[in-house]
């Protein structure tokens, strides 16, 4: 196999339409990154990333702020690329597995001893995808299912329809929620855990969450859809670890049950912080792990020891390599998975779509789903679409909240092997 001789990376800032609130904080922009890796025979791989410091390490985000936090993450990406120079190319998951401890040590030794692993994985995502692109070209295996088969056999479904999951953040207006309902959305992701009186006032948070969920339900709850077992829209609640105890979560769910909303809750994601994990098996909803599932061993821990019954996959935030390992462990336990977003750009949506399209529908749904909220949040989304090499193909756009995937989609894996020409221009 060849050796890596050249690496490059670049970034651009993309502003959001308004502050994007979650985890008790907010973002005003997201850094877009691109990484190029070239071997000694001139074969190239290019990977994309989106940095979300608040999502990946809320403590670090609060400590450093948006600009410094992004610079730190970008420096980890650069360091990872420097470690690759001169290395022999092999299977990407093995190479990424070697990078993770080295990059984590680098970050922690530069004044951030409590840096979360997810922060490192977020930094490594474009590097990992560049390695997969390079490896696919070197082996002549430009076929997603065959390429990932050594890591998992679980991605065997071929969904013809994927429903787009939009995001209702703290600041999403009633008008915007109604507009989403008019598109036929059948699964809404709703951020809970707001901090109206400051992050420490959890009683105020609980009251806010109950009122917000009642508000959303009043706006969309009576819509009819053919894509859920109950015939009405369902809700996916994302707490981002903001709840401190199972009892407080039960107080939320009891309030929802009282108002006839609980039966519509398909998923509750990351209810408690990972440093204070608790058994969630007595909760009357399916509980999903996200940030706390850094690796396949973490996912096993959540499923086997704490009663988590779903896993959010994030190939666009925790690397494709780690995602495939997690997917395999979940499949062994018959635990359903789904693909969550990180407010990524249009080209990166296609990464997630290739996994989401090959997963079975979540229990309670009659179609597959894919979270993509970039169109709701990026100021320049229409311009960003022009950078996507798959732009113009029918599967690249949702039609009234639905992605339609035919045989031509699977024949080319949704265009993920097309040249990222516009992004390569960033690196010149």
What would the mean pLDDT of 100-121 be, rounded to a whole number? 96
Which string of b and e fits 108-123 if b means at least 16 CB within 10 Å?
eeeebeebbbbbbbbb
Report how far apart, in Å, the C-alpha atoms of 136 and of each of 87, 129, 144, 380 are: 17, 10, 9, 31
pLDDT of residue 197: 77
pLDDT of residue 252: 98
Reply yes or no on whether the pLDDT at 26 is more than 90: no
The alpha carbon of residue 310 and the mean position of all alpha carbons in its chain are separated, in whole angstroms, by 14
What would the mean pLDDT of 219-230 be, rounded to a whole number? 98
pLDDT of residue 380: 98
Domain spanning 4-140: which superfamily? Enolase-like, N-terminal domain (3.30.390.10)
- Per residue in 140-171, pLDDT (tens digit) is 999 999 999 999 999 999 999 999 999 998 98
SS (H, E, C) the chain: CCEEEEEEEEEEEEEEEEEEEECCEEEEEEEEEEEEEEECCCCEEEEEEEECHHHHCHHHHHHHHHHHHHHHHHHHHHHHHHHHCCCECCCHHHHHHHHHHHHHHHHHHCCCCCCCHHHHHHHHHHHHHHHHHHHHHHHCCCCHHHHHCCCCCCCCCCCCEEEEECEECCCCCHHHHHHHHHCCCCEEEEECCCCCCCCCCHHHHHHHHHHHHHHHHHHHCCCCCCCECCCCCEEEEECCCCCCCHHHHHHHHHHHHHCCCHHHEEEEECCCCHHHCCCCCCCCCCEEECCCCCCHHHHHHHHHHCCCCEEEECCCCCCHHHHHHHHHHHHHCCCCEEECCCCCCHHHHHHHHHHHCCCCCCCCECCEEEECCHHHHECCHHHHHCCCCCCCCHHHCCECCEEECCHHHHHHHHHCCCCCHHHHHHHC
What would the mean pLDDT of 330-354 be, rounded to a whole number? 96
What would the mean pLDDT of 92-109 be, rounded to a whole number? 98
β-strands 234-238, 187-191 pairing: parallel
Reply yes or no on whether the pLDDT at 1 is more than 90: no
Tokens 């410094």: give the residue.
68
pLDDT of residue 236: 97
Confidence class for position 125, pLDDT limits 50, 70, 90: very high
Reply yes or no on whether the pLDDT at 428 is more than 90: no
Reply yes or no on whether the pLDDT at 400 is more than 90: no
Domain spans in the chain, listed from the N-terminal domain onward: 4-140, 161-427
Tokens 């996507």: give the residue.
388
Confidence class for position 250, pLDDT limits 50, 70, 90: very high
pLDDT of residue 120: 98
What would the mean pLDDT of 187-210 be, rounded to a whole number? 91
pLDDT of residue 222: 97
In this structure, are residues 343 and 207 in contact, taking their beta carbons and an 8 Å threshold? no
pLDDT of residue 309: 98
pLDDT of residue 287: 98
Confidence class for position 90, pLDDT limits 50, 70, 90: very high
Q: Give the lowest-confidence range in 20-29, 155-164, 202-211, 399-408.
A: 20-29
The CATH fold assigned to 161-427 is TIM Barrel (3.20.20)
Reply yes or no on whether the pLDDT at 24 is more than 80: no
pLDDT of residue 25: 79
- Per residue in 292-325, pLDDT (tens digit) is 999 999 999 999 999 999 999 999 999 999 999 9
- Per residue in 64-88, pLDDT (tens digit) is 999 999 999 999 999 999 999 999 9
Confidence class for position 338, pLDDT limits 50, 70, 90: very high
Percent of the chain with pLDDT over 90: 93
pLDDT of residue 198: 79
Reply yes or no on whether the pLDDT at 226 is more than 90: yes
Confidence class for position 117, pLDDT limits 50, 70, 90: very high
Which string of b and e fits 38-59 if b means at least 16 CB within 10 Å?
bbeeeebbbbbbbbbbbbbbbe
C-alpha 129/C-alpha 34 separation (Å) is 10
pLDDT of residue 22: 78
For helices 174-182 and 202-220, give the axis angle rounded to 10 degrees. Answer: 40
Q: Give the lowest-confidence range in 50-54, 265-269, 301-305, 395-399.
A: 395-399
Give the chain's mean pLDDT. 95
Percent of the chain with pLDDT over 70: 100
């Amino acid at each position: 196999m060849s050796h890596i001789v050249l690496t490059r990376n670049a970034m651009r800032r993309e502003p959001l339409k308004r502050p994007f609130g979650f985890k008790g904080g907010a973002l005003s922009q997201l850094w877009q990154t691109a990484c190029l890796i070239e071997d000694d025979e001139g074969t190239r791989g290019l990977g994309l990333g989106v940095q979300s410091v608040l999502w990946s390490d809320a403590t670090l985000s609060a400590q450093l702020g948006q600009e410094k936090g992004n610079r730190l993450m970008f420096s980890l990406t650069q360091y990872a690329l420097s470690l690759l120079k001169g290395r022999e190319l092999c299977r990407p998951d093995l190479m990424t597995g070697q990078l993770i401890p080295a990059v984590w040590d680098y970050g922690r030794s530069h004044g951030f001893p409590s840096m979360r692993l997810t922060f490192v994985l977020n930094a490594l995502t474009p590097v990992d995808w560049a390695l997969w692109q390079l490896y696919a070209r070197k082996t002549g295996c430009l076929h997603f299912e065959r390429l990932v088969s050594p890591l998992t056999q679980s991605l065997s479904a071929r969904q013809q329809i994927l429903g787009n999951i939009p995001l209702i953040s703290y600041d999403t207006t009633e008008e915007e929620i109604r507009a989403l309902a008019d598109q036929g959305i059948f699964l809404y992701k709703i951020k809970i855990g707001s901090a109206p009186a400051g992050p420490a006032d959890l009683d105020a948070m609980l009251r806010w969450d109950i009122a917000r969920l009642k508000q959303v339900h009043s706006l969309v709850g009576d819509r009819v859809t053919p894509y859920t077992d109950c015939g009405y829209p369902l809700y996916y609640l994302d707490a981002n670890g903001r709840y401190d105890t199972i009892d407080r979560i039960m107080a939320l769910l009891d309030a929802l049950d009282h108002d006839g909303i609980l039966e519509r809750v398909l998923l509750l994601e990351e209810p408690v912080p990972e440093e204070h994990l608790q058994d969630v098996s007595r909760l009357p909803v399916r509980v999903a792990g996200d940030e706390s599932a850094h690796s396949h061993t973490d996912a096993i821990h959540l499923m086997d020891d704490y009663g988590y019954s779903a896993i959010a996959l994030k190939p666009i935030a925790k690397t494709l390599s780690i995602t495939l390992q997690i997917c395999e462990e979940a499949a062994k336990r018959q635990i359903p998975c789904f693909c969550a977003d990180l407010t990524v750009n249009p080209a990166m949506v296609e990464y997630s779509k290739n996994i989401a399209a090959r997963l079975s529908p979540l229990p309670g749904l009659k179609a597959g789903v894919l979270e993509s909220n970039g169109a709701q949040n990026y100021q320049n989304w229409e311009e960003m679409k022009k950078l996507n090499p798959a732009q113009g193909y029918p599967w690249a756009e949702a039609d009234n909240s639905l992605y339609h995937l035919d045989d031509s989609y699977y024949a080319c894996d949704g265009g993920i092997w097309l040249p990222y020409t516009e992004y390569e221009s960033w690196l010149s």
